[in-house]
Structure 1
């Protein structure tokens, strides 16, 4: 849920710090007071399109920040956070967005800089904003199949997994078959190319770690003089009259005399003796090294040429010798496949035929499941529409094709999500044909259809907060009361914000925020006040009667609040 919202220098808002509760929050106030501005700010916070026009006059930037809390580790935003490398602690998510006068947008999620597209993708899992003419997901026919799958997730999810596993193999096999079935001229050109590449790799006779060994040898040759001088000086420091070994030999002789006179010096004698014999070995090794050390300018040229050859191959076939050899093995396999093309095509065709049969069976099973759940969804939405006084309305989940229509496997349009193409259809008047939901245009009817769908899908979509921006426009009387009850039902499973002019909706609210415009110091600003129970009665009275609030309107407001309390508690 959205717990806190901070808005600075946004439109006519100088600074607002709001805290929200779970359940239904109603936002009311006079027209033009700034109710929709708050929703616009939330819309921008979750990745909506920004404009410098939103920045308060005279300021350099507008800032919006929101704190969301997630209690469910399976919430879609948790997966998004892992995908984008965003750390989450205790289920807390902080979204932040700045819009500067130069048009620059700065977006952050939990302090990490992100692009607007990432913010939008992340925000779409947290907030769903519905206006009277905003169809969003429910009005997007391409998402209707996804919504049906969410509704029947308990059974459909496993069937989709089974289908997807086979579909992945089917796609890979189909891709390999298409590649092998390309025209012979292209295939011949490809064969010539990779045969040349393989010969080049094989002729190089590469050995693993060869380049590292050559670089090490190159370093030695390039530093030959320094190496020779170091070894020679080391040898001369030990060997010769009045040099290291001479003095240690003298030390050992004197320690032998001391040990003969006093046994407690025997350990020291042993240490000195060990040092002497060790240094004697080192002296012999240094002598051998100097005897074998020889500068080979031709060898240095050989190494340079070999390293150049290896680097050329790296640029063509891989970043390392290991990568080059792996590429060589890969194209060797491809050469074998192209050379024996006909037999491989035959094998792939047989495999593809088997996969098509398996895919059809899994797809048909998935389709049958979807049709069963589509019937349940139809019944559930029809029931919701009856409660919204649209009992004559017919809703249908329409499948645009049937698996029975395909006589040949080759004609079946296998897709990654199954065999089905689904769209929601509706008829709002008796005798009228069913039409696509996306073409329903009546404001009052659309509001009720949207609410019916939202009541069903809010339990399945995992959206943290749902915002209704005057979706109750164009309704009154018993329909208004039904809409208020439906919005309250949605708030049981999701935090709901509702901008409304209906007193019935305001009466249902768990939290009532009153938005008003004030003028101070020659500037207009928007302020928000959480109403007390008495203030709520007065505001609902104003919504009922208009400007003048009488005792009768106050009594009517009390009755609405009492009715709302009874409905919510029962």
Structure 2
């Protein structure tokens, strides 16, 4: 569950820190107090796009930090598979925003946004103010069903997606290989030319590197001879000032010193070794100079060979290995074109085999989906009745796409009838905004029982509802919160009265700034906030008494 939220320098938030509890946490406040900023900050921490100018005016950075305590064993295992370093089963997610860039960390380690979103999907489910509008799209319906049946279909869905990729690759290969006779003849001629050009060169691995070194040596042979000759003059003769002449003189002096002090012998020995090294060095230079040959013909041959290799590289690859690999691939393609009919027949057989396999997996997936759709529809119907849809009918209709997709063949959508005698129609065409909100709550309540996600956030799930319906929504939230941590932003007193913990979001203005704060309310303060939500104006004793009775009623409701 989400233990702690810490926000600093974000929009109109100076600094906010709040600790949440188990069960139902209610957040309320005046319109414009900054409730959306609180949920927005959580979304930002979990990898959402950072709005421009989100850093508070006058600050250098903004920071959002979330602390989760993970108890579900499946969630712990999934986090380990993502290589998340758990510390006492806690996950600390932070995101620091600085001048157009941000840094996200999980338990102190920097992570990419893609991984952050994968981690967030295991820890929290956020229902935003407009998420229920996604119910008008059919693709959302199938996603909900798959989430409901995920334990049963997870492996099969992966097999379908993998099979679809293999099938598409085979189909693309067949389409690419399908050419008319004239093009096939041109391709054969072109491939034969390329293969002959490469094979005629008789390339060898590493040849280009050896030739480059050889060409460099030959083209600079005169400079090498001149340089080594100068070195030999300095070290290899007895002229005054040469290295050999100086070492010889030093050796004579040291020999005389030995008779005075035996410790000088070590210097004499060292000088003797040095003299031998110089003699060897000079002899090697002399031998090298006698062997080196400035051969212009060899230089020209080497240069022409390098030009040939560079020309082949410009056509077929950056290295000799690439060129030889291209040649082998061209031979394979040539064989296919020379035996074209058999090649095409083999591809068609492969496509048919992969299509049959994909078809089998897709229909197996479809059958499992249909079986679970019946169960899901009944569960949703019961949940909708709890949410004051008294004469509701709910089902899921299945059609088939004209071709396969990575997700199978099912084109499914929810159908609903909210009034007696009405035909069932697609959900997106019949439900109002308030009804969609309640339907999404019903779906969330069902999925919550199937998921290991411990924390659910509802941002104004009560939009478009009031009266008895609002009471039903509050009861449903209370039921969900028995097994999950729920954070709910609301403007309805019926829902706020159900709070296990109540927080108020307030906006405070001074001469120079405006800030949003969030604080926990005790029992008395919670009743005062309920009274404000009930009256919206003057808090009379009658209104406060109504708020107190509403709180008591909610408390009694939660006991059952």
The TM-score bracket by the shorter chain reads 0.7 to 0.9
In angstroms, what is the RMSD of aligned CA positions? 4.5
Q: Distance in 2 between matches of 1:267 and 1:133?
A: 91
Q: Pick closer, same or farther for the CA change 1:4–1:517 going to 2, 3 Å.
A: closer
Match of 2:487 in 1: 497
The TM-score normalised by the length of structure 2 is 0.79
Does structure 2 retain, via aligned residues, the 8 Å contact 1:507–1:561? yes
| Displacement after TM superposition at 1:183 (Å) | 3.0
Does structure 2 retain, via aligned residues, the 8 Å contact 1:512–1:531? yes
Q: Pick closer, same or farther for the CA change 1:214–1:464 going to 2, 3 Å.
A: farther
Q: Pick closer, same or farther for the CA change 1:545–1:165 going to 2, 3 Å.
A: closer
Q: Pick closer, same or farther for the CA change 1:233–1:567 going to 2, 3 Å.
A: farther
Match of 1:521 in 2: 511
| Displacement after TM superposition at 1:418 (Å) | 1.3
Q: Distance in 2 between matches of 1:65 and 1:122?
A: 19
Does structure 1 retain, via aligned residues, the 8 Å contact 2:44–2:95? no
| Displacement after TM superposition at 1:453 (Å) | 1.0
Please say which of residues 549-558 and 124-133 is displaced more in the overlay: 124-133
Matched, 1:109 2:104: yes
Where structure 2 has 5 or more consecutive residues not aligned to the other structure, the ranges are 255-264
Where structure 1 has 5 or more consecutive residues not aligned to the other structure, the ranges are 256-265, 403-411
Q: Pick closer, same or farther for the CA change 1:67–1:33 going to 2, 3 Å.
A: closer
Matched, 1:210 2:234: no
Does structure 2 retain, via aligned residues, the 8 Å contact 1:77–1:126? no
Match of 1:470 in 2: 460
Q: Distance in 1 between matches of 2:81 and 2:134?
A: 21
Match of 1:191 in 2: 188
Matches within 5 A, 1:302-451: 302-401=301-400, 413-451=403-441
Q: Distance in 1 between matches of 2:121 and 2:398?
A: 27
Q: Pick closer, same or farther for the CA change 1:63–1:75 going to 2, 3 Å.
A: farther
Q: Distance in 1 between matches of 2:453 and 2:133?
A: 13
Q: Distance in 1 between matches of 2:273 and 2:55?
A: 84
Aligned residues: 542
Matches within 5 A, 1:31-180: 31-39=31-39, 46-47=47-48, 50=51, 59=57, 64-69=62-67, 71=70, 72=75, 91-97=91-97, 105-110=100-105, 130=127, 133-135=130-132, 137-180=134-177
| Displacement after TM superposition at 1:551 (Å) | 4.8
- What per-residue deviation string (whole Å, max 9, x for no partner) do you get for residues 337-377 of structure 1? 11211001112222222222222222222111111111221
Structure 2 SS opposite 1:396: strand
Match of 2:9 in 1: 8
Q: Distance in 2 between matches of 1:207 and 1:60?
A: 66
Q: Pick closer, same or farther for the CA change 1:167–1:43 going to 2, 3 Å.
A: closer
| Displacement after TM superposition at 1:450 (Å) | 1.3
Structure 1 SS opposite 2:408: coil
Q: Distance in 1 between matches of 2:348 and 2:52?
A: 55
Matched, 1:511 2:501: yes
Match of 2:522 in 1: 532
Q: Distance in 2 between matches of 1:291 and 1:457?
A: 88
Q: Pick closer, same or farther for the CA change 1:162–1:527 going to 2, 3 Å.
A: closer
Q: Distance in 2 between matches of 1:204 and 1:493?
A: 74
| Displacement after TM superposition at 1:452 (Å) | 0.3
Q: Distance in 1 between matches of 2:97 and 2:86?
A: 18
Match of 1:227 in 2: 224
Q: Distance in 1 between matches of 2:249 and 2:558?
A: 105
Does structure 1 retain, via aligned residues, the 8 Å contact 2:13–2:517? no
Match of 2:289 in 1: 290
Structure 1 SS opposite 2:488: strand
- What per-residue deviation string (whole Å, max 9, x for no partner) do you get for residues 494-522 of structure 1? 65432222222212224322233444227
Q: Distance in 2 between matches of 1:9 and 1:270?
A: 78
- What per-residue deviation string (whole Å, max 9, x for no partner) do you get for residues 64-115 of structure 1? 5322346445669986x99xxxx999733323456x8xxxx54443397989
Please say which of residues 484-493 and 270-279 is displaced more in the overlay: 270-279
Q: Distance in 2 between matches of 1:95 and 1:139?
A: 33
Match of 2:259 in 1: none
Q: Pick closer, same or farther for the CA change 1:2–1:50 going to 2, 3 Å.
A: farther
- What per-residue deviation string (whole Å, max 9, x for no partner) do you get for residues 518-552 of structure 1? 44227655443321222112212332344344555
Please say which of residues 447-456 and 303-312 is displaced more in the overlay: 303-312
- What per-residue deviation string (whole Å, max 9, x for no partner) do you get for residues 296-344 of structure 1? 2343343333333323332332222111211121121111111211001
Please say which of residues 231-240 and 158-167 is displaced more in the overlay: 231-240
| Displacement after TM superposition at 1:475 (Å) | 2.8
Match of 2:16 in 1: 17
Does structure 1 retain, via aligned residues, the 8 Å contact 2:218–2:295? yes
| Displacement after TM superposition at 1:156 (Å) | 0.5
The TM-score normalised by the length of structure 1 is 0.78
| Displacement after TM superposition at 1:20 (Å) | 4.2
| Displacement after TM superposition at 1:228 (Å) | 2.9
| Displacement after TM superposition at 1:44 (Å) | 6.3
Q: Pick closer, same or farther for the CA change 1:187–1:355 going to 2, 3 Å.
A: same
Q: Pick closer, same or farther for the CA change 1:97–1:539 going to 2, 3 Å.
A: same
Does structure 2 retain, via aligned residues, the 8 Å contact 1:27–1:513? yes
- What per-residue deviation string (whole Å, max 9, x for no partner) do you get for residues 436-462 of structure 1? 222244233222111001112345577
Q: Distance in 1 between matches of 2:178 and 2:292?
A: 61
- What per-residue deviation string (whole Å, max 9, x for no partner) do you get for residues 21-60 of structure 1? 25433222233433345445556665358466x788xx47
Match of 1:486 in 2: 476
| Displacement after TM superposition at 1:206 (Å) | 1.8
